Amino acid sequence: MRVDHVELLAVRLPLVREFETSSHRKSYLEHVLVRVQDADGAVGWGEIASPSGPFFAAETVETCWSIATAHLVPALLGRVWEHPAQAAALWSRVRGNEFAKAGLDMACWALWSQTQGVPLAGALGGERRTVVAGVSLGIEASVDALVEQVARHVEAGYPRVKLKIAPGWDAEPVAAVRAAFPDLSLHVDANGAYTESDEHLAALRGLDGAGLLMIEQPFAPRDLLAAARLQASIETPICLDESIVDGHDLATALALGSGRVLNIKVSRMGGLTAAVAAHDLARAHDVPVWCGGMHEFGIGRAANVALSSLPGFVLPSDVSGSDKYYARDVVTPPIRADRGTVRVPWETPGLGHAVDEEFLRAHATRTSEHRGSA
C-alpha cells in the first residue's frame, strides 16, 4: 500500500454537558481528524484526540498539528507498506508524540482493513460481537448533582460508572453514590492528582472499603513506586493509565507490582498497533484490561469499539454512546449504547461507519493537505 494524499482537519464540537476532572473543566473538544488516501482512491480516517491543554499529557492540539505536518505525514507519504504495523514503523524515529502518531496509525489501519474487505475488529484480532460500555462522570457542583447524574446513566443501562476524584472530592461523593447504588460496579479516577502525603494516603486508603472495581491513576504518571507501595497496602486494585505509554512502562509496572488492572488508550499509547501489543502483553501476564477514552468523536470511538472486541478486554470500556457527549457525531450511523452494550460492526469493512464529511468540514477550524510526489 502507498498513501499519496493526507488531509488534516481540526474539528471543534461542543459538549452536551461540561466535563470537569482534577485538572480542568471543558465545554467543547477540538480534535484533529486524519484522512489518508491511497493511489487507487481508497480512504481511511483516523483521529488525533489530544486535549487542547497540556493537562492529561504533554501533547496538545497545537503540538500534534505541528508534529504531524512537519514529521509524521512526510514520513508516510509515498512510502510502500504491506501492513499497518509497517506504516507505524515509518515514524518510529520521532520520539514521544503518541497522540499525533495514534491518529495516523488509526487511519492506516482503517485504510488497510477497508481495502482488505474486513472489519477493523477482525483486522485487529477481535472476537466479540458486542462490547460492554462503561460511563465516565466528571466532578459536579455538588454531591447531589453527581448522584443525579449517576442515576441517569444507571437508568440508561450502563453497568459500570467511573467517578473523577481529586483531593477534597473523594470520600463524600463515593460514599453517597455507593449508598444510593449499593450493587453498582463503580470505580474512581484521580488522573494523578494525589501524592504520598499523610492526608492524601489516608483519603485513598479510606476508599478501600467502598467496594470499588479499581482506583485509577492515583499518583503522577512516573511515580510507579508510589503506586506499588499503595497497591501493597490496599485490597482494591490500582489501575494504571497515564503511567503506561509503551510496552517498557508496562513491563516495569508489572515487575514492581504497581497495579493489577490496565487502561489501554489508543491515543496515549501511539495507536492501534501499540494498543494491540499492550493487550497481548497484559494478557500474557493475566492482567485484565479495558479501553479508556478521550471523549473521541465517532472516528476514534469506532476504533475503540473495534479494539474492545479483543479477548483480553474483560472489563467495561469507555465506549459509551456518542450522544452522551455530542448532539451530533461525525459518523453515520452514530455510535449508540443499548442498555450498556455497543454493537461491533462486523458486516462492514474498515471502521464500519461512514464519515459525514459535510458536517465535519462545516465544523473545521483549519485544514492542511499534503500530497506525495508523482
Percent of the chain predicted with pLDDT > 70: 98
Return the pLDDT at 52: 84
Return the pLDDT at 159: 92
> In Å, how far are 34, 257, 350, 352, 374 from 116, measured between CA atoms?
20, 41, 9, 13, 25
The mean pLDDT of the chain is 94
Mean pLDDT value of segment 283-311: 95
Output the pTM of the full model: 0.94
Q: Over 82-141, what HEC string results?
A: CCHHHHHHCCCCCCCCHHHHHHHHHHHHHHHHHHHCCEHHHHHCCCCCEEEEEEEECCCC
Q: Is the pLDDT of residue 57 over 90?
A: no
Q: Is the pLDDT of residue 59 over 80?
A: yes
Q: Is the pLDDT of residue 53 over 80?
A: yes
Cβ atoms of 253 and 278 closer than 8 Å: no
Return the pLDDT at 17: 76
Q: Is the pLDDT of residue 220 over 80?
A: yes
Catalytic residue among 26, 101, 162, 164: 164
Return the pLDDT at 24: 60
Question: Tens of pLDDT along 337-374?
Answer: 898 899 999 999 999 999 999 999 999 999 999 998 65
Return the pLDDT at 320: 85
Residue-by-residue DSSP string for 241-268: STT-SSHHHHHHHHHHT--SEEEE-HHH
Per mean pLDDT, which range of 138-142, 194-198, 212-216, 224-228 is the poorest?
Answer: 138-142
Question: Tens of pLDDT along 242-284?
Answer: 999 999 999 999 999 999 999 999 999 999 999 999 999 999 9
Q: Is the pLDDT of residue 169 over 60?
A: yes
Query: Is-catalytic flag, 265?
Result: yes
